Amino acid sequence: MHRWRWLMHIVLKSLAYRQGRSLLLLGVLAMAASLVTSLGIVSSAMGLRVAEEVRKYGANLVVLPAAARIEVGSGGLDFGTITEPAYLPQDALLRVVGNEGVTEYSLHLRGHLKAGALEMPAEGVDFAVIRRLYPWWQLQGGWPGADEAVIGIDLAARLKLKAGDRIRAAGTAGAREFRVAGVVSTGGEEDKLLFIPLARMQEALGVGSSVSQARLLAQTGGVTLEQRAARLQGLLPGSVVREVRQVARTSEGLLKKVQLLMALVTAVVLIAAASSVASTMSMTVLERGKEIGLLKAMGATRLGVLLLFCGEAVVLGLTGGGVGYLLGSGIARFVMKTVFMVSAGIDLRFAGLSCAVSLCLALLGSAGPMMSVFRLDPVRSLRGE
Amino acid sequence: MVTDIIETRGLTRSYGEICALKPLDLLVPEGEWLSVMGHSGSGKSTLLNLLGGLDRPSGGSLQLGGEDLMALSEDGLARFRREFVGIIFQQHHLVPYLTALENVMMAQYFHSVPDEAEACSVLERVGLGQRLKNRPGELSGGEQQRVCIARAIINSPKLLLGDEPTGNLDHQNTGMVMELLKELRSEQRFTIILVTHNREVAAWGDRIISLDDGVLVREERTRR
């Protein structure tokens, strides 16, 4: 019989012989591994879930052109700083956002148009993106099609317009008539704006394919939003990338606190489990003193005896890890369904994590008792001392 | 010409201030059956542990099969035990969760490679062909001792050590075990050192030495 096959055979027989103690160890390891698995799955899913929630609030990064700033002064007098309108090249923006963890983006071109003699602030946008990215927009009327506009509720009142009316808006480079498809009310600055399709705004202002602002929804997995913003800014010379701080920062901070709490709970449970494994293994070694003495008397080296004990720890560790993964996945699914109202999928990465944690616990917990195996004297062990 | 397999000069073993074995000079020729007699605490088990490489002497020299045991490391002693020595214990010391066959194969595992066919044939040789799959708890004392003998001889040792191997057996089983040892010795030509306090058992050997308080007090040849 092959030596490794024999070793496995002996290890399994030994574990089966002490089935009560083996089951106890297995239970402890499976419990610890299931906790790591379930908290890992929940924590990871929480991150995605929070990102999803953040997504509902819209963008978390804003890209603005770094406006030309000129210090104005004469002699000892300082007249302050003046800024000139500046734009971002649309093509460069699209190239960068496609590769930098940005899942959604909206491009905006802000300017002033004239309706008759009245000047009004207007913004060119892609309505399909706005509808997806800003679900809280309350619209009276409908979403616009081509050559249609949305007007903010305050501006509509000022111009005495309602859904279905028509408005002629003129920019520095051209004028066009739009049908007002809907009146938007957000409680924010949108209420004072006229929204028209981006391409029409670019024509009206004569700025080619430029925009004045891009709002991005960037994933924060693996890096902080701050790091993501800094990276984007490096890739977009002439721009300033800022965080939409309130929502993103709060979500990130809360998530980090919850994850820290989970990590602490896990650490406490793992330490308790390792202590439990250590005490059970110590008792096993004490009970098996004569057996160890016999093996040494038969010519087993200290490493040879150690290998038997390590084999038992490995089998228990891997089995505990497997059971823990199944158990932990079940718990995670239950928690996700009842607390977050979403279903968690099967993530095999956590099977590896669960087995690794359980194996480490079994080996670490056995380390002390195994060292005493190393030192046992065969004559005294056989005498039962 | 018969060479000495064991040679001790001034061999001693002390435990703190207690001297369990006082300076002992002993020569054992290859193939001899030496019985060691003595009362409890006379030092006979101490001598056996030293000869089996289970314990280290406090002084003197100890040569076994041309190897200086004093110079061997822990792992060197382990190698010596598995390649050179077979031990039969009074308490049998069988692994309780293994069958008779597996107990014998365990000794093969530490020596080289477990070989089921060879282990079966040795167990059949000691009369346990029908008890291969039984655990120690399902065997009588005599049967357990025969498993112990099979385990001790499976790796063809040059030296077979017995520490009161019949101490727990009745008269009938004692006779069977001693007869078996005699047959095996004539087949395999190993040297036997057998510790006993039973004169009848000691008489199975070629020579008897008696220890008292760690000192060799008598040496006699048997009629066998």
Q: What secondary structure letter does DSSP report for B139? A: S
Interface of B with A in 139-168 (CB under 8 A): 151
Over residues A360-382, the pLDDT tens digits come to 999 988 888 888 877 788 888 88
Q: Is the Cβ pair A290, B95 closer than 8 Å?
A: no
CA pair distance B222, A33, nearest whole angstrom: 67
User: Please, which residues bridge with residue A63 across strands?
Assistant: A214, A241
Interface of A with B (CB under 8 A): 1-3, 6-7, 10, 13-14, 16-17, 290-291, 293-302, 304, 378-379, 382
Q: Which residues of A touch B106 (CB under 8 A)?
A: 10, 295, 298
Give the pLDDT of residue B224: 63
To which residue do tokens 């027989």 refer?
A13
The band of A104, judged by pLDDT with boundaries at 50, 70 and 90, is confident
Query: How many whole angstroms separate alpha carbon B185 and alpha carbon B105?
Result: 21
Q: How far apart are CA A320 and CA A347, in angstroms?
A: 18
Provide, as residue numbers in chain B, all residues whose Cβ is less than 8 Å from the Cβ of A297.
Answer: 52, 54, 81, 87, 93
- The SS3 of residue A196 is strand
What pLDDT score was predicted for residue A165? 93
Instruction: Give the pLDDT confidence of A217-236 residue by residue, as tens digits.
Output: 887 667 777 888 888 888 88
Nearest CA in chain B to A15: B97
Contact yes or no for B95 and A3 at CB 8 A:
no
Alpha carbons within 13 A on the beta-carbon side of A197: 15
- What is the ipTM score, two decimals? 0.91
Residues of chain B neighbouring A291 (CB-CB closer than 8 A): 95
Instruction: With cut-offs at 50, 70 and 90, classify the pLDDT of residue B140.
Output: very high
Band of the pLDDT at A7, cuts 50, 70, 90? very high
pLDDT of B43 reads 92
Residue of B nearest to A307 (CA): B110
**Are the beta carbons of A7 and B113 separated by less than 8 Å?**
no
Q: Residue A70 belongs to what H/E stretch?
A: strand A68-74
Q: Which value, to the nearest 10 degrees, does the dihedral of the CA atoms of residues A275, A278, A282, A284 take?
A: 110
More confident site: A47 or B178:
B178
Which range, A344-348, A378-382, B106-110, has the best average confidence (pLDDT)?
Answer: B106-110
What pLDDT shows up at residue A230? 85
Share of chain A above pLDDT 90, in %: 37
- Predicted local distance difference test score (pLDDT) of residue B171: 87
Q: What is the mean pLDDT of residues A156-168?
A: 92
Q: With 0-12 CB in 10 A as exposed, 13-18 as middle and 19+ as buried, what is A177? A: exposed
CA distance B159 to B30: 9
**Mean pLDDT calculated for residue range A32-54:** 80
For A48-84, write each residue's pLDDT tens digit. Answer: 766 666 555 567 788 888 864 555 554 455 555 556 6
Whether pLDDT at A246 is above 60: no
The overall average pLDDT reported for chain A is: 85
Find chain B residues with C-beta within 8 A of A14's C-beta: 97
Cα distance between residue B128 and residue B134, in whole Å = 10
Q: Residues A3-19: what's their mean pLDDT?
A: 93
Residues above pLDDT 70, as percent of chain A: 88
Question: Best mutation site among A21, A291, A298 for testing chain B: the one with the most B CBs within 10 Å?
Answer: A298
Coil, strand or helix: which one is B45? helix
pLDDT at position A336, please? 82
**CB atoms inside a 10 Å sphere around CB A52:** 11
Contact B78 A16 (CB under 8 A): no
| Residue A2 reports pLDDT greater than 70 | yes
Check whether A105 has a pLDDT greater than 60: yes
Task: Give the residue on A whose Cα is nearest the Cα of B82.
Answer: A299
A vs B, Cβ pairs < 8 A, gives 75
User: Do B77 and A366 meet the contact criterion of CB atoms below 8 Å apart?
Assistant: no
Reported as a pLDDT band with limits 50, 70 and 90, residue B10 is: very high
The per-residue pLDDT for A58 is: 65
| Residue among A200, A119, A109, A198 at smallest CA distance from A158 | A119
Q: Identify which of A14, A299, A382 has the shortest CB distance to residue B93.
A: A382
Calpha distance A308→A294 (Å, rounded) = 13
